[in-house]
Structure 1
Amino acid sequence: MTDVTVPFRAGHEGYAGFRIPAVVACRPPSRPPSTGGTPTGTLLAFCEGRADSLADHGHIDIVLKRSTDGGRTWGPLEVAASNGKNLAGNPAPVVLDTGRILLVHVRAAAGATEAAILRGHVADADGRRVWVQHSDDDGVTWSKPREITGQVKKPGWRWYATTPGHALQLTSGRVLVPANHTLPPTGTDTGAEARYNGGHCLLSDDRGATWYLGYLDENTDGYINVNETTAAELPDGRVYFNARNDSPSPGNRADAHSRDGGRTLVKPFRPQAGLTAPICEASVLQLRDPDLLLLSAPADPAARALMTLRASGDGGTTWRTALTVDGLPAAYSDLVRIDKDTVGLLYETGDFGAYETITFRRIPVTRLT
């Protein structure tokens, strides 16, 4: 049995590199969402295929590979979303109770660098815009993309990113996509670099037909700077959000809860000092049997390395180390429940750098409990 596979390797299959992993487990249309959090079916591993370099701008496609044996082997590379020679990125897939897969993502002009966007030097039409498409056949074919920017991005926001990682459908049926944005500086220098990240989420109550903004967390005091965010629905119905924090508060992570399905936060994001990590994306996943909230992230405080799974039995208040994968370089990741006995981890790693591969690891649940 193969527990570790490499779906994506830099410099192969027509792309200079692969970044920003996301993974979901498909569900046959006749099967309702499992309250045990144990979907069955094809695994879809998404990421950005960066054609010319590892840069965050340029010609970038959203690519995927499919596995029908729980991640032990993977099919050929396919393009799920393309924007020509421009950017389609930050895949945020979610499997609905109908079996349909939504793929929310961002698009931008190839030359729209992050620095230029943050300084307000990129026209709205060329900047980070939000799109959605769907698949009704386990990711084999995809609908034409549909733009939803006007519903979920406020005028004046500069940088914008969905997740990274998988999105959610809550038990209420609501679809929730964590996201982040930047606020322009206040004052007269409209060409200055945006200084503050803000957290928000996208919500849909009609399975992706229409969208609106949920909570907004826009702290500008320099202590909390919410960036890439991931979310999980807890057994008591609350939504738990965990975010990369780009300000020098303890641990480089921040978290928050919502009691109304992401519309508002109980309290603003606060530092989560129980999670030591570098400034980097992370992923959370709620297991229902056993009742365990998982987080995957690098655990070295200063470098993107030491991929580690942490576990919480109290909804994210406290954390313990559940599994240290290895001591190698590692960066972005995403988690998926494969079956009742197995969790899957899709993550960036390599022998000498974190962006050499996107690797998939099958992890027995018993190793986490």
Structure 2
Amino acid sequence: MKPGKGEISTGRTPSATLGDSMNSHIPALGRLRLAAIGLLLALSLPAAELPTQPLFVSGEGYKRYRIPALIVTAKGTVLAFTEGRVGGGGLVGDIDLVLRRSTDGGKTWLAEQKVADLGEDTLGNPCPVVDRDTGTIWLPFTRSPGKSTEKQIVAGESPAPTTVWVTHSTDDGLTWSAPRDLSATGRRSDWRWYGTGPGIGIQLATGRLFIPSYHTEPNEMYRSHALYSDDHGATWQVGATVGEHTAECQAAERRDGTVVLNMRGTNKQFARTLAESKDGGSTWSAPRLEKQLTEPACEAAVLALRPPMLRPGQTAAQDSLWLFSNPPGTTRRALTIRLSRDEGHTWPVSRVFDPGATEYSCLTRLPNGEIGLLYELARAGQPYRPELHFAKFPLTWVEGK
């Protein structure tokens, strides 16, 4: 299908998870301001007109699929992860982690395979990272009691909190290890809810495997943090927590080694929240609002295009390019791709990819140099049944060239 041809409409609001109901609390002036931003964006930039491939369609296999993660292995295989929700509801009940693989750069995809299934418990927030030194693919994720909702876990009303786990593959994603519980060192004992990503992790210049994460504390406050490994995944540690009202997050590293955490806020400000670390996530700056990046309380993706992730003909001096994707208005519509030429300080270029009902997304660099995108959309005339579609485009498309 081609987005922008009237084939996608609003769909139904997803079942409540972190911040899904916050739109109703935007002050009237703020709603008007953000609506104006979204309108200008939609009017000034053409929609994608690019083909997409449906990789996961709710009702075909699992009753519902949600939460995209997209990454390329050391051998160039593209891996698309998501949650397979058995009961078809929100983030509760029997949920597995599933995967589809492409060995030809996203042209064709192999059949869905199950990566992790721990009975009737809730597995969620896939956040893979590839170790460039060993080629191992690590997949941190979370596990919650299957009968407990996020709200119950946050309030301390669940029989057990959310724990953090990991599985890994050494054969390009064909097979996966038995899941391993990281909670002894990967979470603090008083944390209740826990989320990895969702999206992807990164490997820092130091070799550290860095998983952007978040949690809730006994006062029910959401805060972001880092989960990391300095020994190629053998052991995992938890870094410092970021300030209050921070949650789902993605990360990018600047050339000077600064890690920028790009976070979904929970304080009803409807802009992304940023924090920086000079030591790989061991400490963080005070969080600040990034008003260039508006949001409707939704996950977003960020991707640093570092060498060899450059267009043909580019030089190392041009490795300051970052990409960002999210629905930028007051509602989850009009998935937009933004481009920064100065490592996330400014975002002067943007283009609407899909003008319809869109939610979470994930970006990666494909073996041929194009950008890969896995994102959630809803179909017209149906109850809420999200589909995860894959698309690819050259960087020049974002620039309108």
Report the TM-score, using the length of structure 1 for normalisation. Answer: 0.88
CA–CA separation in structure 2 for the residues paired with 1:76 and 1:323: 32
Paired amino acid for 1:327: P
Q: How large is the RMSD of aligned CA atoms in angstroms?
A: 1.5
Partner of 2:45 in structure 1?
Answer: none
Partner of 1:143 in structure 2?
Answer: 177
CA spacing shift, 1:150–1:173, aligned 2, 3 Å: same
Partner of 2:65 in structure 1?
Answer: 18
State the Cα distance separating 1:368 from its structure 2 match: 2.6
State the Cα distance separating 1:142 from its structure 2 match: 0.5
CA–CA separation in structure 2 for the residues paired with 1:307 and 1:321: 14
CA–CA separation in structure 2 for the residues paired with 1:100 and 1:3: 31
Q: Residues 64-83 of structure 1: matches in 2 within 5 Å?
A: 64-83=99-118
Partner of 1:153 in structure 2?
Answer: 187
CA–CA separation in structure 2 for the residues paired with 1:208 and 1:101: 10
CA–CA separation in structure 1 for the residues paired with 2:243 and 2:60: 40
- The structure showing larger relative contact order (alpha-carbon pairs under 8 Å, at least 6 residues apart) is 2
Unaligned runs of 5+ in 1: 29-40, 186-193, 220-224
* Aligned with 2:290 (options 249, 272, 275): 272
1:8 paired with 2:8, answer no
Partner of 2:203 in structure 1?
Answer: 169
Contact kept? 1:4, 1:72, Cα under 8 Å:
no
Contact kept? 2:136, 2:169, Cα under 8 Å:
yes
Question: Which has a greater percent of strand?
Answer: 1
Superposed CA deviations along residues 232-254 of structure 1, whole A, max 9, x for unmatched, are 122222111100011122x4310
Partner of 1:217 in structure 2?
Answer: 242
State the Cα distance separating 1:354 from its structure 2 match: 7.3
Contact kept? 1:298, 1:308, Cα under 8 Å:
yes
CA–CA separation in structure 1 for the residues paired with 2:144 and 2:188: 16
Superposed CA deviations along residues 46-76 of structure 1, whole A, max 9, x for unmatched, are 0000011131010100000001111122110
1:206 paired with 2:231, answer yes
CA spacing shift, 1:52–1:99, aligned 2, 3 Å: same
Partner of 2:264 in structure 1?
Answer: 244
CA–CA separation in structure 1 for the residues paired with 2:100 and 2:264: 27
State the Cα distance separating 1:256 from its structure 2 match: 1.5
SS of 1:326's equivalent in the other structure is: strand
Superposed CA deviations along residues 314-342 of structure 1, whole A, max 9, x for unmatched, are 22222134321021000011100003530
Identity, % of aligned pairs? 40
* Aligned with 1:262 (options 281, 294, 298): 281
Partner of 1:35 in structure 2?
Answer: none
Question: Which has a greater percent of helix?
Answer: 2
Report the TM-score, using the length of structure 2 for normalisation. Answer: 0.81
Partner of 1:368 in structure 2?
Answer: 398
State the Cα distance separating 1:355 from its structure 2 match: 4.8
1:129 paired with 2:129, answer no
1:228 paired with 2:218, answer no
CA–CA separation in structure 1 for the residues paired with 2:192 and 2:394: 42
Contact kept? 1:158, 1:184, Cα under 8 Å:
yes
Superposed CA deviations along residues 90-120 of structure 1, whole A, max 9, x for unmatched, are 1111111111100101112210111111110
CA–CA separation in structure 2 for the residues paired with 1:303 and 1:216: 29
Q: Residues 339-350 of structure 1: matches in 2 within 5 Å?
A: 339=367, 341-350=369-378
Judge which range, 235-244 or 173-182, deviates more: 235-244
CA–CA separation in structure 2 for the residues paired with 1:51 and 1:351: 20
Partner of 2:217 in structure 1?
Answer: 183
Paired amino acid for 1:295: F
CA–CA separation in structure 2 for the residues paired with 1:215 and 1:226: 13
Contact kept? 2:379, 2:385, Cα under 8 Å:
no
SS of 1:218's equivalent in the other structure is: strand
How many equivalent pairs are there? 336
Paired amino acid for 1:175: L
